[in-house]
Structure formats: C-alpha cells, structure tokens
Amino acid sequence: HIVYEDFVWIDRFTFRNLEIFAPLVQEGTSLLQVTDRCCSPMGSRLLREWIAMPLKDISAIARRQDVAESLHDNPDILNCVRAAIADVGDIERMISKAAAGRISPREVLALCNGLRRISEVSRLTAGLEKVAALSSGMDGCASLCELIEKTITPQAAVQLGKGEVIAAGVDDELDNYRNTLANSKEILLNIQQTERERTGISSLKIGYNNVFGYYLEVRNTHADKVPEDWIRKQTLVNAERYITPQLKEYEQTIMGAEEHILAIESRIYADLVAQIQQNVAAIQRDSRLVAQLDCLAGFAFQALEHNYCRPVVDNSLVIDIKAGRHPVIETMMEPGSEYVANDLYMSNDDRQIIILTGPNMSGKSALLRQTALIVLMAQIGSYVPAASARIGFVDKLFTRVGASDNISRGESTFMVEMSETATILNNLSQRSLVLLDEIGRGTSTYDGMSIAWAIVTYLHEFPGAPKTLFATHYHELNDIEDICDRVHNFHIATREAAGQVIFLRKLTPGGVASSFGIHVARLAGVPAKVVAAAEKKLRTLESEDKARPHGSSAVVLEEPAAAAPVQLSLYQLDDPLLAEIRDILEKIDINSLSPLEAFDTIRAIKNKLNGNK
C-alpha cells in the first residue's frame, strides 16, 4: 500500500527540467539511463519507481544504503550476485501469466530456472548480514521446481499440441500412445511393402491428406492389378487412390493416439499450472526481493565504477556536498576529460539562498541540476557522485530551468515560466529545495529583473526559509546580499587570457557582472562582422552606463516595490535632433496628409538626419 506522504513531492516540471526519465533533446541522456545498472527487468522497473518516489524516511534510506554498502565492500560477491540475478529472468511477468492461466510450457521452464537462481542468490549473500536480512526472505519454491523439472520435458514445445511437453515416465498411458505414434512410420512402411508383394505393384505408395486420411496410390499402368477389396476414393490424371479396411483401422489408431496424447498432456499441464498458482504469493514476494537486491547491487556497482560515496541523510536542515559532480554529464565526457567538482554548503539558518552569477556556458545550470540529482539519488538510497555528502532530507524538490513554450495551449515562453514558478511558490515548505535558473528572462529587462528580485525576497521571508539556488544573469540581484542576511552571492569563475575567456567551472564566493555573451556568440560561429558590431555597441552602452549617476548599475532596486516600471528604449530621446524629428511627427495629421506631402515630410526628416538643414 503506497502512502504518498512518505515520499518526496516532485512536480512534472521538475521531472522534465532535470531530465530524470527522458532527455530534453533527442541525443541527450537521462538520469535513469545512467543509474540503471540493474541486471533484470524487474530491477529496472523498480528503480524507475524508486526514482519517481524518493524516500523521506531516514531509517528506510539507511537500510537500503546498508545493503548497497555490504555489496560495495565485497566486490567478488557483488559480481556473483549480479550474474545470478541476470539469469533469474522476468519471473514477475511469468507469474502474472501463470495466475491468469496463460503461461506457456517454455515459460514454466524459465520460471523454474529463475527460482533455482533465486536460491543461489540467497546462498551467495548468506554471509553478509545486512544483505541476508533482505535475501533470507526469498523462498525459491524448491518443491515446485522439483515438480516442474519432473513434469516438463527440457525440450518442451512452444505450446500444447505443437510437440512434446510432458516428460516421459509421468503417465504410462501417455507413454503407450507415444510409442504407437513413434512406430507408426515403420508400421505404414510394412503395410506398403506387404501390399506391393501381394499385388505385384512395385510403384505402390502410401500417402495422407486431410480429406480422407491415409490412402494407397496406384499408377494407371498397374490398374489391372488392383485387388477387388480395395475401395477407390480419388481419381487423378495418371493414378488412382484407394483405401483398405486395414489402412482405415490403423489410421483411426494413429489419429486416436494424437487426440489422446493432447488430452492427457493438457490435463497434466493444467494440474501443474494449478500448482504454480498456489505459489503465486511466494513467487511475487521473491520477485520483489530480487528486484530490490538488483537495484541495490546496481548502486554498489556504479559506486565502484565511478567512485561514488555513501551520503549521510539526516534530520538536519543542511546540504553539505564536497566535490560534487553531475552524474550524467561526467559519464558523457570525452576520454581524458575530467569533470570539475564543486563544494556546496546550504543551510536554512545562515546560507539559505545562493544567488549564482557567471558567464553563459560556465556551468551554472549544471551546478543547479547536479545538486538536485545528488539529493534525489541520496534519498533513493543510492551512493552519490561526490567525495562526501550530508543531506538534510528534503520533502519537496522544485526546479525551474530553461525556456520553452506551449503553443498548443496558447502559452508563451514567459507564461510557461511564470506557471512553473507559481507552482513552486504556492507549494513551498521548510524542507523544500528550490532551484531557479534565469527567472524573468522571457520578458523585458526591468520587468524580469523586478520579478526575480521579488521572488528572492519572498523566498527569504517565507516561514521556514526553504533552501534555494538562484542562477541569474541579472547581476543587479547581487545587491540583495546587503539587504537579506541569509542571501549569499556566488559565481562560476572564469579567466581572461589573450582576449579569450577560459571557463574554470569553479564555484567561488562573490557576484560578478559579466556574462561574456559576445564571446559565446563567437564560439557558436556567429559571423565575425556581427560579433565586431556587437562588441562596438557593448562598449558604447558600457560608457553610457558609467556616466549615469548610480555608477556601474543601470538600475538600483532596494526592495520589490521600488522597481520602476520603465522599459528600455532603443533611442536616447534627449538627443536634440531626435526630439526635433519627434515634434515633426507629432504635428502631422495622418488623416489629411496627401501622398506628396508624406514624401516631402520623409525627405525633410532624411535631410535632417544627413545634416542637410
């Protein structure tokens, strides 16, 4: 019975944004793809369930970790257990078919083999106390396996009536009928030889069809030799077909044997399936335990393969990750490349909100995602990609990253962004972990900046102070650190050398005001002429910005309500020439303007712009 309050609350936006079950792009990789090291279909299905519903119960998390740790510390046993589980097969699906009476003979044999391997798994793990606490509950159904092995022939047909299914020695009557069929070919050859000798028809042969069964075929050249007691059944172009009382009698014997064999095999097989159905509960329990052990063995295997650590999950309100890495990105890196690990410390009491600034492509989004994925992995009982980790368990996980629209529902990019943000703000709790990336980018600069500012201050004042990572290009938000005591500025470090930007991908205290967007445009292959024009315009804007009274900041926001509802303009309208042109346009009565007057007005404005007064 599932009680949803026992699991972490994760909305659909978070599942999508973190690429937990499916990547956002076709060539991407999901968390499930990376973490699924299970050896059986049952384990893979259970792992998906665990990832969808991380635990909040610390003791339950610890029990999973204990099993994974025991296997992690005994790699030889781990490898043997994984090999045995790989041979178990999908007994969960097989037993569901058996319960419905639709299991095939070969599936019965596969079920038996799987149960035998379960017994082996139990034996392999008997010496590991923590693992044995799980595997000792496996039944293996030894008596049922013995019955299956005794009843079903190892080379059983795909289904009843398509070949032998029941083993020899199970039923004497069945064996007798099989002997009859086995000797039928020899008996038919004897009848054929006897009739050839009796009639002198050397080309005589026995055949069979579905219309009138077995027959004797005689070519027309020997028609005068046919005995009077033969009964003609069919005339062909060059031959005649006959039957005899002896042949019909033997035909009935053969056909009767086939019917009896099918009836006897069906009865014995139905009895066997009934016996399997009596063990459904035990086998289902075994399949669930095997799936759990498969998942935990996968955690141990992955930890050994990628140098993961066992996290401490406790009741604190702290997240302290040392040398954390992104579990997906690091597996996709080219050979020889090394993922730059980062430390992260957050606490509801002092470092509640981290405002993360830094250039495009520096790794801000990766840091947000890796934090969420490490927390999620810790709360399903897995090892995590870090040198060490202490996770005060979270009860809700929220992310708002990236930009997308929903045209089919009439929702713009910004509307989708605000809908996801609203879901987060309306469902907060003290133990929530909130990850926000580029909030406000879908609207005008001042609008977006004001919304971002208001969200940060709202989260700071929210009861319980939920932990929040807020990545942004609005470097003006760094000023919030001076106003809110639990807000701290960090940035992803970069270095400029010879006109190039080097991304160090290291989390560093303090905010920055540069995004290096033009550098990213150059890396992306934007034409050099466009990049040069952008750099020239940037220098102009920066020089104008420095001339403003407030120094380097274009806007100063002291609190959410103080944001002025001003839209940035493409033109500086305090320029006298532009003001004069504006006055000319305002005086024009469009409704009474003739085409010639319109041309004259445009020519006059153009002359002013060219300096021809």
Taking residues 199-204, report their average pLDDT.
89
Taking residues 388-409, report their average pLDDT.
76
pLDDT band (50, 70, 90) for residue 546: low
Which pLDDT does position 565 carry in this prediction? 46
Residue 550 scores a pLDDT above 80: no
Which pLDDT does position 1 carry in this prediction? 56
For the chain, what's the residue count?
Answer: 613
Which pLDDT does position 541 carry in this prediction? 66
The torsion angles phi and psi of 276, rounded to 5 degrees, stand at: -65, -40
336: left (phi over 0), alpha (psi -120 to 50) or beta: left
Q: What is the pLDDT of residues 237-273, one digit of tens each?
A: 899 999 888 888 888 888 788 888 999 999 999 999 9
Query: Which residues on neighbouring strands pair with residue 433, listed in sequence order?
Result: 397, 467
Q: What is the pLDDT of residues 504-535, one digit of tens each?
A: 788 888 877 666 666 666 667 778 777 777 77
Burial of 244 (0-12, 13-18, 19+ CB in 10 A): middle
Residues 6+ apart with CB under 8 A from 57: 6
DSSP H or E run through 608: helix 595-609
Q: What is the pLDDT of residues 64-103, one digit of tens each?
A: 999 999 999 999 999 999 999 999 999 999 999 999 999 9
Which pLDDT does position 515 carry in this prediction? 61
Query: Which residues on neighbouring strands pair with residue 494, listed in sequence order?
Result: 503
Burial of 524 (0-12, 13-18, 19+ CB in 10 A): exposed
Tokens at residue 204, please? 């005589």
Q: What is the pLDDT of residues 115-174, one digit of tens each?
A: 999 999 999 999 999 999 999 889 889 999 999 999 999 999 888 888 899 999 999 989
Which pLDDT does position 513 carry in this prediction? 62
Which pLDDT does position 562 carry in this prediction? 43
Please give the Cα distance from 504 to 507 (Å, whole number).
9
* Mode of pairing for the β-strands spanning 353-357 and 487-497: parallel
Tokens 């005689």 belong to: 218
- Of 604 and 375, the one with more pLDDT: 375
Which pLDDT does position 503 carry in this prediction? 66
Which pLDDT does position 564 carry in this prediction? 45
Taking residues 337-363, report their average pLDDT.
88
DSSP H or E run through 436: strand 432-437
Q: What is the pLDDT of residues 446-495, one digit of tens each?
A: 888 888 899 999 999 999 999 999 998 888 888 899 999 999 999 887 77
- Of 55 and 2, the one with more pLDDT: 55
Q: DSSP string covering 98-140, please?
A: HHTT---HHHHHHHHHHHHHHHHHHHHTTT-HHHHHHHTT---
List, edge to edge, every strand of the sheet that includes 239-243: 205-209, 213-219, 239-243, 231-235
Q: Tell me which DSSP letter residue 476 carries.
A: G
Which pLDDT does position 547 carry in this prediction? 62
